[in-house]
Amino acid sequence: MPKDLDLIRGTLDMLVLKALAWGPRHGYAVTAWIRDTTAEELRVEDAALYASLHRLAAQRWVEAEWGVSENGRKAKYYSLTAAGRGQLRAQTATWARYARAVERVLGTA
Amino acid sequence: MLPRGIRRLFRLYRGHGDVEDDVAAEIAFHVETKTKALVAAGMIPAAARDEALRQFGDVKRARRELAAIDHRDTGRRLRADWLEAVWSDLRFAARSLARAPGFTAVVVLTLALGLGATAAMFGVLDRLLLRAPIGISDPGEVVRLYAKEGEPDTRGQRLLGQFLFTEFDFFDQARSAAVAFGFHRAMPVPFDDAAGALDARAELVSATYFQVLGVRPALGRVLLPADDSAGSSPAAVISYALWQGRYGGLTSIVGRVIHVKRRAYTVVGVAPRGFSGLTPQSVDCWLPAGVAVEDVFGPGLRNPHTRYYVFDAVARVRPRFTREQVAGELTLALRRHQALLATGPFSAADPGATVVLGSIVPGRSQVELGRHDDSLSLSLLVAAVALIVCLIAMANVANLLLLRALARRRETGIRIALGVSRWRLLRSVLAESLLLAAVAGAAAAWIASAGGEVLRKLLVQEDWAAPLFGTRVFIFVALTAVVVGTLTGLVPALLGGRPDVLASLRAGVRLSAWRRSRVRGTLMIGQVALTMALLAGLGLFARSLARATQVDFGVDAGHLLVASTAREDPKAPPIDIDALLARVRHIPGVRAATAEEEALPMFSFGVSYLRAEGVASLPNNTSEGGPFYSLIGQDYLDARPDVRPGGVHGACNGCAGKRGDGPPALACWGRAREVPLHHDHPDGQRQAALQQHRGDHRERAAERVGASVDAVLRATGIGPALVGPRHHGAQRKRSRPPRRAADGSAEDDGA
């Protein structure tokens, strides 16, 4: 189980980084984007996504700052750092290779 | 500190206090926004909120988790910030000190000398006064034994530090404590092994010695009770230094044979590093007293009536016994011994003698005895001087730092005007002074390790087994450096006061620097006061030194050559001194040659008395100033014309009047030749004394001394006398009760 958790966490981190690739977003926007994009197929609690955001911030891949949301409320905005962008690229490449390899194996069966 | 909102506004670092609020606000924002979105999609508000919460998951747990992540992160950031701030302060301090190399050099040198001297003296006093001798386990259970005289003499009751050899057997039976005896100072002895001869220092110990002190050997075993019986095969323990220095640390040393005073001993073990018995003075080997005592002292010590008080005694209090019980039991043992003495031919016993327990820390036992030797009082004095020098150095450095701070008022003013906090300013000042102190501390450690030993040898004229500079001295230097750095930095920073920003910006450095500097004045006054004290001491010392150099010791060492025969080959026959002297006399340029037990006439050890009939004995007590005398050859006075009559005035107790109540004493042979061999005692008695010879030359030397004495006595008109090594003497009558000599010199009847 812990291994699965690691896998899920790593994948979540990747998704969160991707969600921030187009610019700063607050936490709600990140969760909403991921729900929309995956068409709710990924059943993840919002809390897990927030944990991912905070972990990424602690790793300096993401920077957090308080700003004002579109509806005039105080919200915490996250944006990718240069290191975070590099991390996203690397993780995407790794994921793609991995997915291709798995697909090849399953395709031959 | 700025209000939290402002820090948040400017994205300044945020402390742990913000974390929970931030997490709560973030989650609240999420839930509200989500609810709004769901309502907009057509849900009724209450259901929308429930759905938002459901999708979010466990809010409480999420809060906890997120806060934990953020706390860890905040902690890391704060630590990194702190380290960076310290590092930048230090770099800044280093740069600004490098820009003033003269200032830096002066400060470092001043502090290093002050700290170095203090550290070296700490090393000396640490060994003398602060801690138990090295190598003793659980020193808290070990006590030193003293005897208190039962009958108060004219100077009141005294504590006496040494015991008779025969008293050990009485103490050894104690149930409350394990007792050990050790000869109170290491004896120079001829020492031989397969590699050749050596001047070694041996200590005679009871075989319980190592066990009572709890000494764990570095190699082999320690001495055991079985080694101490006269019939056992002689065993010896050698010191770590001798093992390393002479035997290269080879483990094969155990089982080797060494010769001390012509007797063969098997080395059974090596003492631990730094161990030197009860004093710091180095010892080369330990011999069981039961075996070696005759070799060193002759057969006399086994006789309870022989008053050689030469053994230090220690005891380890056994579990479940109190010190009072130990003292009580040993007192009884001592009195039993005294009762035995009462039945002897001299019937001189001290039925009121009491055993008193004291400290085994070397200097403290001296204090307890009420008699510091010179090295301890000198060390204390020099330590005080070192401390004063260190304080002066600190005041100096504080002053220099203050001056520097004043010179940098403009800079400080600008920094304050820019909003640098007082704490930040203080930190940069402290960084500077601590950096200086750290460099000075390193230099001081070097000074203490290189120069401490030299200083120590000046104060304590003996070799110590363990080096002065160790972990404790190093820790002392480090702590002192931190304290000194903080103080020298804080004093100018705190007492200097906050500079008047506008004035310093306007007027610049010059004028404002010298105003209102009360601290400077205080430091100056303190320094001058301390310096005056030192100068006064120096003046007095110079006077004493001048006086001391003018003392005529009656000995002119020019044209005098001294050779020693202490190194003996154990297999060769004893040296024939007469033949040796005859050969020396034939060497061209030799005017005269003589034999003498000690090279100078003012040193003697282990004495007995020669005295005119009907004259009371002289208490011989080298620590009270004499009399000193030495065994000499027949033609001594011809060979030593430098020993001038009357010259020994200052060095001789009776003559010098060092103690008004002291006994009149015979001086030495130089005095004896031309000046009458006596002093007028207040009650008109005339006395003469002569050292008992000892060692291998006993018999022949006695004849020679006898001859000299006769000549002297004839010259001085004292009349016939008996020469008295005690085992030669016939029936003698004791004329005074026995006295214990606290420093180990002994009294023996001679007439």
* H, E, C per residue of B542-556: HHHHHHHHHCCCCCC
Cα three-residue angle A14-A18-A24, rounded to 5 degrees:
125
Q: How confident is the model at residue B502 (pLDDT cuts 50, 70, 90)?
A: low
User: Mind telling me how many Å the CA of A45 is from chain B's nearest CA?
Assistant: 5
B29, B57, B73 ranked by CB distance to A73: nearest: B29
Question: Is A27 in Cβ contact with B26 (below 8 Å)?
Answer: yes
Domain positions in chain A are 2-108
Q: How confident is the model at residue B20 (pLDDT cuts 50, 70, 90)?
A: confident
Dihedrals phi, psi of B481, to nearest 5 degrees = -60, -40
Measured between CA atoms, the residue of chain B closest to residue A51 is B66
What is the number of CB-based contacts under 8 A between chain A and chain B? 66
A32, A47, A74 ranked by CB distance to B25: nearest: A74
Block residue for tokens 């003498």: B596
Write the pLDDT tens digit of every residue in B662-697. 322 333 333 333 223 333 333 333 333 333 222 223
Question: Is B29 in Cβ contact with A27 (below 8 Å)?
Answer: yes
Write the pLDDT tens digit of every residue in B514-567. 555 666 777 778 888 888 888 888 898 888 888 877 766 555 666 777 776 655
Phi-psi region of A68 (alpha: psi -120 to 50; beta: other; left: phi over 0): beta
Question: Is A47 in Cβ contact with B73 (below 8 Å)?
Answer: no
Partner B, chain A 37-76, Cβ-Cβ below 8 Å: 45-48, 50-51, 54-55, 57-58, 65-66, 69, 71, 73-76
Alpha helices in B460-585 (DSSP H): 471-490, 501-507, 510-514, 518-550, 577-585
What sign does the CA torsion over B372, B375, B376, B378 have?
Answer: positive
Residue B590 has pLDDT above 50, yes or no: yes
Question: Is A66 in Cβ contact with B70 (below 8 Å)?
Answer: no
3-state class of A46 per DSSP?
Answer: helix
The 3-class secondary structure across B138-202, one letter per residue, is CHHHEEEEEEECCCCECCECCEECCECCCHHHHHCCCCCEEEEEEECCCEEEEEEECCEEEEEEE
- The pLDDT value recorded for residue B639 is 62
Q: Which residues of B32-47 are buried (b: 16+ CB within 10 A; e: fewer)?
A: ebbbbebbeeebeeee
Chain A residues whose CB is inside 8 A of the B72 CB are 58
- The pLDDT value recorded for residue B408 is 77
Write the pLDDT tens digit of every residue in A43-71. 778 888 899 999 999 989 999 888 888 87
Chain B interface, mutation test: which of A46, A61, A77, most B Cβ atoms within 10 Å? A46
Residue B653 has pLDDT above 80, yes or no: no
User: Mind telling me how many Å the CA of B11 is from chain A's nearest CA?
Assistant: 8
User: Mind telling me how many Å the CA of A88 is from chain B's nearest CA?
Assistant: 21
Q: Average pLDDT over chain B, rounded to whole?
A: 72
Chain A residues whose CB is inside 8 A of the B30 CB are 27-28, 31, 46, 50
A27, A45, A54 ranked by CB distance to B57: nearest: A45
B33, B69, B72 ranked by CB distance to A51: nearest: B69
For the ranges B370-374, B641-645, B696-700, the maximum mean pLDDT occurs at: B370-374
Please compute the mean of the pLDDT values over residues B499-507 and round it to a whole number.
61
For residue B499, give the nearest of B370, B591, B413 by alpha carbon. B413
Residue B511 has pLDDT above 90, yes or no: no
- B187-193/B142-148 β-pairing: unpaired
Partner A, chain B 17-56, Cβ-Cβ below 8 Å: 22, 25-27, 29-30, 32-34, 36-37, 55-56
What tokens does B394 get? 């600190």
Phi-psi region of B619 (alpha: psi -120 to 50; beta: other; left: phi over 0): beta
- Proportion of chain B in helix, strand, coil states, percent, rounded to 5: 50, 10, 40
ω into residue B627 within 30 of 0, thus cis? yes
Lowest mean pLDDT among B346-360, B412-426, B692-706: B692-706
Question: Is A45 in Cβ contact with B56 (below 8 Å)?
Answer: yes
Lowest mean pLDDT among B272-281, B332-341, B570-579, B593-602: B593-602
Please compute the mean of the pLDDT values over residues B426-430 and round it to a whole number.
85
- The pLDDT value recorded for residue B90 is 92
- pLDDT more than 90, % of chain B: 10
For residue B119, give the nearest of B409, B430, B434, B447 by alpha carbon. B447
* Cβ–Cβ < 8 Å for B666, B679: yes
Question: Is B57 in Cβ contact with A46 (below 8 Å)?
Answer: yes
Question: Is A26 in Cβ contact with B8 (below 8 Å)?
Answer: no
Chain B residues whose CB is inside 8 A of the A75 CB are 26, 29
Chain B residues whose CB is inside 8 A of the A55 CB are 69
CA distances from B2 to B6, B74, B79, B419 (A): 7, 18, 20, 12
Write the pLDDT tens digit of every residue in B29-39. 999 898 988 99
User: Mind telling me how many Å the CA of B83 is from chain A's nearest CA?
Assistant: 18
Question: Is B30 in Cβ contact with A45 (below 8 Å)?
Answer: no
Partner B, chain A 74-93, Cβ-Cβ below 8 Å: 74-76
DSSP characters for B563-577?
Answer: -------TTSPPP-H
B57 touching A (Cβ < 8 Å): yes
Indicate the residue type of B564. S
Taking the C-alpha atoms of residue B578 and residue B704, their distance in angstroms, rounded to an integer, is 11
The predicted model scores a pTM of 0.64
Pick A61 or B10 by higher pLDDT. Answer: A61
What sign does the CA torsion over B401, B407, B411, B416 have?
Answer: positive
CATH code that applies to domain A2-108: 1.10.10.10
Alpha helices in B319-421 (DSSP H): 323-342, 362-369, 374-407, 409-417
Q: How confident is the model at residue B439 (pLDDT cuts 50, 70, 90)?
A: very high
- pLDDT more than 90, % of chain A: 28
User: Mind telling me how many Å the CA of A70 is from chain B's nearest CA?
Assistant: 11
User: Mind telling me how many Å the CA of B31 is from chain A's nearest CA?
Assistant: 8
Residue B122 has pLDDT above 70, yes or no: yes
Question: Is B55 in Cβ contact with A45 (below 8 Å)?
Answer: yes
User: Mind telling me how many Å the CA of A108 is from chain B's nearest CA?
Assistant: 39
- What are B163's strand-pairing partners? B311
Indicate the residue type of B358. G
